[in-house]
Amino acid sequence: MANGKESSQTLKALLGIRDMVLGGHFPAGERLSEVPLAEQLGISRTPIRAALARLEQEGLLERSPAGGYLARGFSIDEVIDSIELRGVLEGTAARFAAERGVEPRRLREILKNVDAMGDLLGRDVSILDFESYVELNAEFHEMLAGLAGSETLRREIERATKLPFASPSAFLEKQGEGLVARLSLLEAQSHHRAIVEAIRLREGARAEAMAREHARLARHNLEAMLHADEELMQHVVPLKLISP
C-alpha cells in the first residue's frame, strides 16, 4: 500500500508541476523550489523531488549549476523536432499494425464518434463539441500507439508525446474557438480515415506516410499560431515559452 500511495503522490506532483510549467507560472530560467511546490500541491517533498527529475527527463526543466531545477524556454526548432519525432514513431506503429494484419476496429469506432458530433463529412464544423473532440483525438492516438501489439513502441510513443508541445492535442484546447482552427480538424479527420483505411488494407508504407503527414499538421497549426495576432498569443500561454 505504501508503494501505491507513494506512486500516486508522485503522479499528482508530476501532473501538477507540469501544468504549472506549461501554464506559464515559471518564466524561463526561474528556479523551482521544492518547499513552495510541496505546499501548493499539498504533498511531501519526496514526490516533488521525483517529479522534478522526471520533468527534466521530459525536457521541460533543466538542472541548475547551483543545484535544483530551472524552468526552460524552447526554440521553435526544438518544438518542431519533437512533433516530427512523434510522427516518425506513430508512422512506425501504423506500418507495424498494417503489416501484422491488425483489424483497426476501435479506431473506426472513434472516427464514427467524431463524425457523429458534427457534420464533418459535410464540412460543417460550427456545431462541433470541441472538448469531446479533444478527448476522442487523444484516444485515437493512444489506441494507434498500441495497435501493433508492441509494448516497446507504445512506450516510446508515450515518452515522445511528453516532449514539450509534442502531444497530439497540444494547443487544441486553446485554439478551438477560431473557424480556421476548426477547419483544420476536417483535414485531421481526413488523415485519421486514411491511416485507418491503409491499416485495414495492410498497406504499411501508406499507413506510415499518412501518420507522418498527420503529425506535420500539428506543426503547421503551431506555426500559424506563432504568427497570429497578439491577442491570441496572450491567451495561449504555452506559446510564451517558445522563442523564434
- CATH architecture of residue range(s) 2-72: Orthogonal Bundle (1.10)
75-243: CATH number: 1.20.120.530
Q: pTM for the full model?
A: 0.75
CA distance 166 to 80: 8
Burial classification of residue 55, based on how many CB atoms lie within 10 Å of its CB (0-12 exposed, 13-18 middle, 19 or more buried): buried
Question: Which is nearest to 139 in space by CA: 117, 167, 159?
Answer: 167
pLDDT (tens place) for every residue of the chain, 244 residues total: 345 555 788 889 998 998 888 777 888 889 999 999 999 999 999 999 999 998 998 888 999 998 899 998 888 888 889 899 999 999 999 999 999 999 999 999 999 998 887 655 444 555 567 778 878 998 999 999 999 999 999 999 988 887 767 888 775 644 445 545 566 788 889 999 999 999 999 999 999 999 999 999 888 877 777 776 555 555 555 666 777 6
**Residue 69, number of CB atoms within 10 A of its CB:** 23
Q: Hey, where are the domains in the chain?
A: 2-72, 75-243
